[in-house]
Amino acid sequence: MGVGVIMVRRFEPADVAAALVMEEIGQPQPWTEEIFNSELSAEDRTYLVADDGVVCGYGGVMLVGDEARITNLLVVSDHRGQGIGRRLMIGLIESAIAGGARHLTLEVRSENEAARSLYSGLGLAPVGVRPGYYYDDDALIMWAHDIDSTEYAERLT
């Protein structure tokens, strides 16, 4: 399917139903409605969706002190490879920086080449492994430091 004009906007409670369908199809361990509702109402979280008329992706970030932690990211399969994941990540990172974040971290399946490549392009480097973190894979822990610096801002443009 072709991609029209994509808007990145705040994730609203009305978007949960669409996200649940995408989770079931796209995530090995899908989030439930309860998880989405609890995340959307929690403090220090930002959730965004990509919308081209229908929701085609979403992601979230949690702020813990000066650390931003990516909690979820997904782009529907027929919209992948067109920059939407990167746009969502940049929106989440900018929101985290505005909230006081200086560092960025996340966990990613070690075999998830697409996500690892996306994150590397955003300056995240692998620093460790959590063996057996997922039921079928290890987690790679990635970090980017000083995301509030001018140098890092240049990477996002």
Ligand X SMILES: CC(C)(COP(=O)(O)OP(=O)(O)OC[C@H]1O[C@@H](n2cnc3c(N)ncnc32)[C@H](O)[C@@H]1OP(=O)(O)O)[C@@H](O)C(=O)NCCC(=O)NCCS
Among 74, 92, 93, 144, binds ligand X (CB under 6 A): 74
Q: Rounded distance, CA 35 to CA 39, Å?
A: 6
Strand-pairing partners, residue 72, are 60
Q: Nearer to ligand X by C-beta: 27 or 37? A: 27
Least separation in angstroms between CB 133 and ligand X = 11
115 sits near ligand X (criterion: CB under 6 A): yes
CB nearer ligand X, residue 26 or residue 99? 26
What distance in Å separates the CA atoms of residue 14 and residue 25, rounded to the nearest whole number?
19
Residues 75/84, Cβ–Cβ less than 8 Å: yes
Tell the smallest beta-carbon distance from residue 82 to ligand X (Å).
5
> Shortest approach of ligand X to residue 20 CB, angstroms?
14
Which whole-number Å values give the CA distances from 67 to 2, 17, 71, 82, 97, in the listed order? 36, 29, 12, 28, 9
Residues in region 75-114 near ligand X by CB under 6 A? 75, 80-86, 108, 112-114
